[in-house]
Amino acid sequence: DPAQPIDERGARHAAQDRLAVIAAVLDRATGRSASPLQVADVGCGTGVQCRLWAARGHQVHGADINKAFIALARKRAREAGLGIAFDVASATALPWPDRSMDLCIVPELIEHVADWRGCLAAFVRILKPGGALYLTTSNMLCPVQDEFDLPLYSWYPGFVKRHYEDLACTSRPDLACYAPQPAVNWFTWYGLRNHLARHGLTSLDRFDMLEACARGPAARAALRLVRVLPPLRFCAHVATPNTTLLAIKPAS
Please say whether the dihedral angle defined by the alpha carbons of residues 149, 155, 156 and 161, taken in this order, is positive or negative: positive
Length of the chain (residues) = 252
Res 4: pLDDT: 45
pTM of the model: 0.91
Q: Kindly report, residue by residue over 205-249, the tens digit of the pLDDT.
A: 999 988 656 678 888 888 999 999 999 999 999 999 999 999 999
Element (H, E) at 39: strand 38-42
